[in-house]
Chains A and B, each alone.
Chain A
Amino acid sequence: MAKWGMVIDLDKCTGCQACTTACAMENNRLPGENWQDVLFYHEGKYPSAKLMWFPRPCMHCEHPSCVDVCPTRATYKTEDGLVLIDWNKCIGCKYCMIACPYGVRFYVDERPLVEPDVRGVFPGAGRGMWSPPYRAPNDREDWVHGVGIQPSGVVSKCTFCYHKISKAPKGVADLDEDIPELKEYVPACVRMCPPKARYFGDLDNPASHVNKLIADKRGVRLLDQTGNKPQVYYLSGGAGASVPGSRAAKT
């Protein structure tokens, strides 16, 4: 079994949000309900003000606090290291949203971010929250893995494009969009990223490119002190001296 993980090179990221829109279209997200978001930060004063951004998917943690708190095991950790939500089991208590330190979970039974509400313009059939005319083929709906158009009353989150990566040939070390026979299995955000700031591969395979990048560029994990142990690593600078992170072995 692979342990899928992502590496994001912050030196290359241009803050363009192509990851966000690629994800939004691939996963039929409501406008602004970004599973894959880019957060913008700033500090300092003119003429030396500083503008920064931070691309943020779900961290698919090794020890996810969201999974521990879910009373129905709707949120679960797969053998491939993904954190997914079973929409057939989720009761919409939102405890996982409370427990996630990274803010990557979405309960979209809420007021629309963009008016007019697309849910009114493209009303859903049956229990679907909406039905965008460009929606994914119906056979992609896979509620057990939280894939498809989010129904009402449940929480959703980034699946690392489970519907793509789960079909990848077994045993591949990296899902690289530049390899023609693998590109259809690459998560949308990784595949689309114009500066190729994203890499996706097997963290359990010591020979994978993602592991080499983490080693060579001293990849760090976000909020390591929470103990969640993300499977998303960030590269920045790559100097030998860097912010330490405890990259644990299997937990």
Chain B
Amino acid sequence: MSIADDIKLSRRRFLQASGAAGALGIGLNKFPGFVTLTEAKAAPPPAGAGATVITKSICHQCPARCGIDVYTTDGRVHAIYGSSEHPISNGKLCPKGPLGAYILYDPDRFKGPMKRTNPKKGREEDPKFVPISWDEALDTVAGRLNNLRAKGESHRFALLFGRGWGASCAGQLGPFGELYGSPNVPIGHSSICSDGSVVAKQCLDGNASYSAYDYRNANYLLIVGAGFLEAFRPYNNNMQVWGYLRGEKVPKTKITAVDVHLNTTLAASDRALLIKPGTDGALALAIAHVILTEGLWDRAFVGDFRDGVNRFKTGQTVDPAGFDEKWVRGLIEWWNIELKNRTPKWAAEVTTLAERDIVETAREFGGTRPAIALFERGAHTHSNGIYNGMAIHTLNALVGSLFAKGGLMYQMGPPYGPMPVKADDYKDEYAKNGPWKKFPRVDLKGHEDGYLLAKNMLQEVARNHLAGKPYKLDTVMFYLTNPVFSAPNAPQWEEMLKEVFVIDTSPFPGETAWMADLVLPDHTYLERLQDAPTYPFQGFPMTQLRVPAVKPLYDTKYFGDTLIEIGKRMKGPMGQYYKALNNSENVVRHLAKGFEKELGDNGVNGFESWKAKGVWYKKPYHWRQIGGEFYEWDGRGYNRRMTPAEVKDKLLKTESGKFEIRSGKLEHEAAWIARMTGRDPKRLMFPQWEEPKYTGGGDLHFVTPKTAMHAEGRGANLPTAIALFQPTVGGHGAKGALAEIHPSAAKARGIRDGDRIRIKSALGGIEAYARVTELTRPDTVVLPFEYGHWAHGRWATAQARGKGGAHVDTVVVNQSDRVTGMANYYTAKVTVEKA
């Protein structure tokens, strides 16, 4: 294609994105029925009978990394099924999986690198992108970066990333930041994802991680705010597990699910508890209260009264000296200062649940082994999220489920080979001791003035940049994150992105791209070679490889290579490092060398076999707690008993080497926490009840769940997903964004089913269609996120769903849990009125 042709196409690249083209109805070529006999008999020509190739790759539509079999015939991908040989997929996929082909052929995706020619930025400003060569694109980025570094302002370059996959993409970001010299490379998205559970677990058992679960051997599941059958990863495997637990398994696993509206998880469970938003911790405390007062705790793991007499009596303190704690720390103190009055009756008032339901749940959970208490965002995206999370996770300790068969554990990493070169060998003086070293991260993560204990604080970037505290950014690059749409108070990001040079790497025309100065589009996932170690799954080590099913359709570049190519253009040893690294495939090949010594269960022993099978894994998980003792796998069984020091080193990674109900981590920073939150420094280290601080100033809780069809930001532009987006409330047919509201709440506001309504908070208002339903609490309005795109493709922006303005993060206030840093997505309160 000549440059001239290319420029002609330039406007179209974004016009397609904005939905201006191609919306005409079906063709003009047919007058139904009036075809001749010959025509009627003529089926389409039998062509394309080439051989079908099956590529083993992995999905990209949620973090789970399911193995997929991609069917390609004559270069056309036409089917995606789950890989039978993949431990997560087992031949299955969730409803999003088969839609992957649509993503590859998305008519709105970018076709090559582009630069902005309209200096003005805003929702209504067409970026007027023009295509450029990759060389120009990469030189532009490197030029800016070199300049910043020359001025000693390298900290003003930030790289924000979301769904990182492995060592060949997200794994490269840390070295890039160190070599270049910016504390802001990278800033991850975990604080707008689910850090609430990660940090809560870290405070209790020392593992800053999501849990791995042994559901198949569990006889009881207590699922709190996790959308197990809609959103919780690995969704596909969760459903396989569900089928087994509810079908073949003997005995059938009983399940209680807790959430704020009736979703499929609650509907499919044995007991559905529709809890008041933000009060999940109160329920957990009451369950713990019952477990203790009724003597249901696991004595082998927790310990017992010396004389074996249960002294946990409601309202009465207990002498700590009379109790021998085994693998927990601070149980009696917890009882005395918090738990002794946390009765089901008390919790019933706080949570609005029936006391009877709380007691029955507690008795079942405490009386059934093994039992798992599982929680995610519903419980912890609140100001009191740390305590809700800790209270729930402590239930696992009370019933002895940590590292037990049928319990929960943590994920082992893959035995990757070393990278071709070491970043440390390529650091110049600037990288080692440059002026950037004295700057905090722009999000004030790990900073006394910000969020000392958080993992990331991506949601603070826009606010801090705009305030100039700690400083203003100059250039911001995005990889698989789109906070201008998905962060709380998202419109604030628009203001920030107007002020900085924005580089987007998404292949899709999202909101970030609309605000971007430079677009360096990634391959879509069926075109990539990309490693991806598993998210916490069943504990045993596993790592997948995304293998291209087709050659890239357009002039795009894998983000890992984009980064390397930018690196090569950097001055000094940094450039040398990236020249040595060469390309991302080289990185992947070096990673795979680790398998030479660690042969996978499926025979994978290096790069080629990994590429052929798409996954390396090696069972089993190495550790297990049995009857209050910890054992390590010796090659034949869990036979080698571990010393307390080994347990502390490998499993319960707290200061005490125990499950710290009295959290040493929180205690360590008690003064800071007390200063920032006003909490009592003597109590704040225990799981406890604290009223959530609701934001927004309205009278209805605003809840914005993920639905099963949400494909990591792509679901909004997938017509088939759109047609199936809100099934439980009749979203079939995709009339538009449906906000669930209870009949009593609707009636009080003069709202009838199907009415257009306005949902307002202190930040502003959005609109949706009312779905008046008994499936939602009377004090709550529910509107799934993913609606309200003002960019992202022609289907995403269509009036009924997108530009009609049902963008939930317009009205969700940016408040975070001071300890975990978790953005408080579900804590907003709104007013609702007829539009």
Contacts and interface: CB of A to CB of B under 8 A. Distances in A.
B776 A40 contact: no
A213 B76 CA distance: 39
A115 B742 CA distance: 29
A127 to B, nearest CB: 7
Interface stretch (B261-269, B400-408, B615-623, B696-704): B261-269
Contacts of A24: 98, 720
A2 interface: no
A120 B262 CA distance: 37
Contacts of A130: 26
A44 B94 CA distance: 29
Contact of A92 (B30, B32, B240, B263): B32
A40 B30 contact: no
B30 A127 contact: yes
B18 to A, nearest CB: 12
Contacts of A133: 76, 101, 105
Interface stretch (A48-56, A165-173, A221-229): A48-56
A208 interface: no
Interface in A111-163: 113-130, 132-139, 141-143, 148, 152-153
A215 interface: no
A250 interface: no
Interface residues of B, number: 93
A94 B96 CA distance: 32
A11 to B, nearest CB: 5
Interface stretch (A57-65, A95-103, A191-199): A191-199
B586 interface: no
Interface string B710-739: 000000000111111001111011100000
Given A52-B267, A113-B733, A195-B247, A25 B99 contact: yes
Given A16-B239, A16-B708, A192 B247 contact: no
B22 interface: yes
B263 to A, nearest CB: 8
B722 A31 contact: yes
Contacts of A26: 79, 98
Contact of A116 (B91, B723, B777, B798): B798
B678 interface: no
Interface residues of A, number: 78
B25 A51 contact: no
A120 B268 contact: no
B39 interface: yes
Contacts of B95: 16-18, 20-22
A245 interface: no
B798 A115 contact: yes
B45 interface: yes
A9 B247 contact: yes
A25 B23 contact: no
Interface centre among B25, B97, B98, B730 (most CB of A within 10 A): B98
Contacts of A50: 267
A121 B734 contact: no
A148 B614 CA distance: 31
Contacts of A31: 719-720, 722-723, 734
Nearest to B274: A47
Contact of A11 (B79, B93, B247): B247
Nearest to B719: A31
B101 A143 contact: no
B115 to A, nearest CB: 27
Nearest to A123: B27
Contact of A46 (B23, B40, B239, B742): B742
Interface in B33-86: 33, 35, 39-41, 43-50, 52, 73-74, 76-82, 84
Given A139-B49, A192-B92, A192-B93, A134 B727 contact: no
B264 A53 contact: yes
Interface centre among A114, A119, A141, A191 (most CB of B within 10 A): A114
Given A16-B94, A42-B773, A134-B77, 20 more contacts: A14-B242, A14-B268, A18-B94, A22-B93, A22-B98, A25-B79, A49-B262, A109-B32, A114-B719, A116-B794, A120-B25, A120-B27, A130-B26, A133-B76, A137-B50, A152-B30, A177-B84, A183-B84, A192-B81, A192-B92
Top 10 A-B residue pairs of the complex, sorted by shortest distance between their CB atoms:
A195-B243, A32-B723, A134-B101, A194-B239, A133-B105, A51-B267, A31-B719, A116-B23, A49-B774, A119-B26
22 contacts: A11-B246, A14-B268, A16-B235, A21-B724, A40-B732, A46-B274, A46-B742, A47-B274, A47-B354, A115-B800, A119-B25, A134-B76, A134-B101, A138-B45, A138-B48, A143-B43, A177-B91, A178-B84, A192-B97, A193-B92, A195-B242, A196-B243
